[in-house]
Amino acid sequence: MIHDLWYKNAIIYCLNVETFIDSNGDGCGDFVGLTDKLAYLAGLGVTCIWLMPFYGSPNKDDGYDVSDYYGVHPRVGTFGEVVEFLNQARQLGMRVIVDLVVNHTSDQHPWFKAARSDPDSPYRQYYVWSKTRPPKWNKGMVFPGVQESTWTRDVKAGEYYFHRFYDFQPDLDTHDAAVKEEITRVMGFWLQLGVSGFRMDAVPFLIERKGAKVRPTRDYDLLHDMRDFLQWRRRDAIMLAEANVPPQQTLHYFGEEGDRVQMLLNFWVNQRMFYTLATGNAAPLRKALLQTYERPHAAQWGIFLRAHDELDLGRLTDRQREQVFAQFAPQKRMLLYDRGIRRRLAPMLNNDRRRIELANSLLFTLPGTPVIRYGDEIGMGDDLDLPERYSVRTPMQWSAQPHGGFTIGRRPIRKVIDDDVFGFQRVNVADQRRDPNSLLNWTERIIRMRKECPEIGWGGWQLLPRMPGHVLGIQYDWNDRCTIVLHNFADRTTKVRLRVDGRPPCPLVNLLSQDRSEPDEIGRHVIEMEPYGYRWFRVGDPERPLTAEKNRRR
């Protein structure tokens, strides 16, 4: 087997151009600035950049309300600058994927404007209408507490339209043939410009059959059609789907034959990671990993800690959720939509470097491909004075200069954090770059090692048996290579006893420091782990090149 599925071992980094860096002093991040920072990302070890929406948009949902799929928002740049950026990224060995937001448009999209003003417009059928108010008009809101309905009357059209999200985001009827064609055209456009695929927004809703009188079933074939088109146009492009669904549904998204989306963000595991970080109890995380074990050979999980949205804990039990809230969101203003936490990682973990490393070590060693959120590599904080999810979307902190070096202008689009703990004077790239012990340099080193462990992306894995309740142990096997990772979620020193399954007694060599463990006469290791400690061990010699089992000379 030739291993050229690049996404199996990518390091994905998610950012919004608007909040990354401003080159011209207008206060808004832009492509010219981002292009200049590509060397920073390449140096960190990033291999794939996920750009959040930068298209034409009234920006009422941070760009997830698109009014022009073929346009670049003028405040972030021009097409020429986007193409320059794509080219430079490629030169530095980085791919780019972009957000594909086609479950809905903005209400300012020309399609919706035409649809609402004329019942005979060909665009009318692009959206989902009802002459009367559907009985379920106030059910199924994604943003409870902020969004009041899913059906709103449009005065111009004289009818109700369906919107799964905010009322300025009318849903497209994605089963309409003309809409399907529009979606593929949009995909084709960006693929032609050179992107390596899409982060697909709101996939469970995208594939739902919608209508006041329609039973809301999901049509997974739509994903198959999109995949077909995608690979017809560009064979190595991927779809990374946002679908916060229970494990028994995930195979529908990957496709039994692996013929739908290549990647799914693993929300199921994400929620249990935070449960385990909050309580020290690793059992639910172990279970979640086993529940999401099955996937087609070419499919891959996206593993992430925090994203640009709230930390959604809606799929934990009520009691589990309360336990996480008690630890990580003790104040009411930290909560959102009755299910989530609107904070960044570092503040949730009390800025405790041991726990931040522990969480990140998990990010890089759980089965899948890591997806990093910009700013987490320096431990950025949040701004709870900002509404809803904007608390975790503040500008990147580059230096101790005014506005954290994000802009030389006077008014950044969003205030840069300047509090006593997480302010840009204390948390910034420039300072951390010079400090060998900084989180930034630690992250760079751990990414380097993750790249030398392709078995994590490719390998079969098993949970180590008989671990203490607060320890997670995973063994990866791939060809003749074997790697063991351990995480101690407790605030106390712990002894872990283990034996490597299926291998002769062999030393365990720590991949991140000098130590090693020699087996006793029956091949057993005893590892003493400090509070919140983690270990990455190679079984045997870490410098020996990988050989496929069948090629090894005896």
Shortest spacing between CB 243 and ligand NOJ, in angstroms? 10
Helix-then-strand count for the chain, H and E: 16, 24
Q: Which of 242, 312, 377, 477 is catalytic?
A: 242
Q: Which residues bind ligand NOJ (CB under 6 A)?
A: 61, 64, 101, 165, 201-202, 242, 308-309
Residue nearest to ligand NOJ (CB): 64
Least distance (Å) from ligand NOJ to the CB of residue 247? 20
Q: Tell me if residue 383 is catalytic.
A: no
Distance CA(551)–CA(554), nearest Å, equals 9
Query: In terms of CB distance, is 101 or 500 closer to ligand NOJ?
Result: 101
Q: How many CA atoms lie within 13 A of 346 on its CB side?
A: 19
**Whole-number CA gyration radius for the chain:** 24
Residue type, 526: V
DSSP secondary structure string for all residues of 381-420: ---TTS-GGGGG-PPP---SSGGGGS-SSS--SSPPP-ST
Q: What is the total residue count of the chain?
A: 554
526-529 own/partner pairs: CB under 8 Å, 24+ apart: 526/495, 526/496, 526/497, 527/486, 527/495, 527/496, 527/497, 527/498, 528/493, 528/494, 528/495, 528/496, 529/471, 529/486, 529/488, 529/493, 529/494, 529/495, 529/496
Q: Is 201 a catalytic residue?
A: yes
* Four-CA torsion 248, 249, 253, 259, nearest 10 degrees: 50
142 vs 298, which CB is nearer to ligand NOJ? 142
Q: What DSSP element (H or E) covers 494?
A: strand 494-499
Handedness of CA 30, 35, 41, 47 (dihedral sign): positive
Contact indicator for 383, 413 with CB cutoff of 8 Å = no
| Gap between the Cα atoms of 360 and 319, Å rounded | 25
Task: Output 107 or 242, the one with its CB closest to ligand NOJ.
Answer: 242
Minimum distance from CB of 28 to ligand NOJ (Å)? 19
Q: Which is nearer to ligand NOJ, 336 or 474 (CB)?
A: 336
- Taking the least distance from each CB to ligand NOJ, the nearer of 64 and 532 is 64
Nearer to ligand NOJ, 62 or 357 (CB): 62
What is the residue type of 518? E
Q: Which is nearer to ligand NOJ, 388 or 444 (CB)?
A: 388
Q: Which is nearer to ligand NOJ, 109 or 355 (CB)?
A: 109
Residues 93 and 45: their CA atoms lie apart, in Å, by: 10
DSSP 2: -
Q: Can you tell me the distance from the alpha carbon of 4 to that of 408, in angstroms, rounded to the nearest whole number?
A: 43
Q: Which of 316, 310, 314 is nearest to 329 (CA)?
A: 310
Would you name the residues annotated as active-site residues? 201, 242
